[in-house]
Structure 1
Amino acid sequence: MFSKQEAQQLKKEFWTAFGKSFPRKWILYDTKIKDFSFKFYADNKKAEVSLDIEMKDELFRNAYYEKIWSLEEILKDFVGEFHKDEFFTLENGKVISKIWVEKHNVSIYNKNTWQEVFEFFVEKMDGFERFYYEYEDFIKDI
């Protein structure tokens, strides 16, 4: 196990290495839709790329989720099989809608898996972004 400080340092190194290995401007929060963002996540067991729909107003959150869901088969063409949860509860208790892909048996604390995670991130986030850019007008029309 690592000390808290060692774990924080490894996380910092991980994200720095990812940015240097794949220097690119990602959409992430810049979707032009408030509380509608793409995210990278990694921990000691898995890596994840997600679309998080975090509007407080459940009607709006549901409307955006339904728009994405109506394009399910098309999204699969861009990112492969994915998970979805219209009422995903975050650790802080906040309920969001979430669509994500994940890769298991990798760890932010194991440098031997970093390249595998980086390639997964690039492939899947690129798929999410291409999907979003292609259907952006449809998605935004709420």
Structure 2
Amino acid sequence: MYSKEEAARLRQQFWITFGKYMKPIAGAEGMPVNWVNYKTGIKHIFFRTDADQKKVSISIEITHPDAGVRALFYEQLLMFKNMLHDTLGEEWEWLPDTVNTQYIPIAKIFAERAGLSIYNQQQWPEMISFLKPRIIALDEFWINVKPVFEDLSA
């Protein structure tokens, strides 16, 4: 087991490593992107990358505090489900009503790979290889559908 400080250092080092690996990759519009902290530009819609001692995951999270608006955003994404899956080259899991780690209600669309640990540096290449094509594909998908969510948010 690691001390809290060592565990925190390993988590931080993983995300620094991932960020450095992704830095030279431009977004779908040709502009630089902060891949580790991707900004969708729409309040309450987030692209999250996560890694812990058991798995690595990537998700779209809708966090709007109003359940009706959250459901509307989710339903709109559901209309783009085929486009999303085509862009990703795989199907993701869809949860219209769940909670995040702080027990706040959210809607979530995600993919994960179990059996990988952020605390095992030998697994980092596999974790990065899982995240990289998916966050790039999400960026490509997002530039096509973002205008719809800008209109819904207005």
Shift in alpha-carbon separation, 1:44–1:84, aligned structure 2, 3 A: same
Kindly report which structure 2 residues correspond to 1:34-53, keeping only aligned pairs within 5 A, or say none.
Answer: 34-53=43-62
Aligned to 1:104: 114
**Residues 29 and 36 of structure 1 are in contact (CA less than 8 Å); yes or no, is this contact kept in structure 2?**
no
Aligned to 1:67: 76
Q: How many residues end up aligned between the 2 structures?
A: 142
Q: What CA deviation, in whole Å up to 9, does each residue of 1:38-95 have, x standing for no partner?
A: 1110001111111111000111111110010111111111221101111111232210
CA distance in 2, matches of 1:99, 1:67: 12
In structure 1, list runs of 5 or more residues that go unmatched. none
Aligned to 1:81: 91
**Residues 42 and 149 of structure 2 are in contact (CA less than 8 Å); yes or no, is this contact kept in structure 1?**
no
Q: CA deviation at 1:137?
A: 1.7
State whether structure 2 residue 122 is matched by structure 1 residue 115. no
Q: Which runs of 4+ in 1 moved over 6 A?
A: none
CA distance in 2, matches of 1:137, 1:90: 26
In structure 2, list runs of 5 or more residues that go unmatched. 26-32
> TM-score when scaled to structure 2?
0.85
> TM-score when scaled to structure 1?
0.92
Q: CA deviation at 1:105?
A: 1.6
Percentage of pairs with the same residue: 30
Shift in alpha-carbon separation, 1:57–1:29, aligned structure 2, 3 A: farther
Aligned to 2:30: none
CA distance in 2, matches of 1:101, 1:141: 27
Q: CA deviation at 1:100?
A: 0.7
Aligned to 2:21: 21
Q: CA deviation at 1:29?
A: 5.2
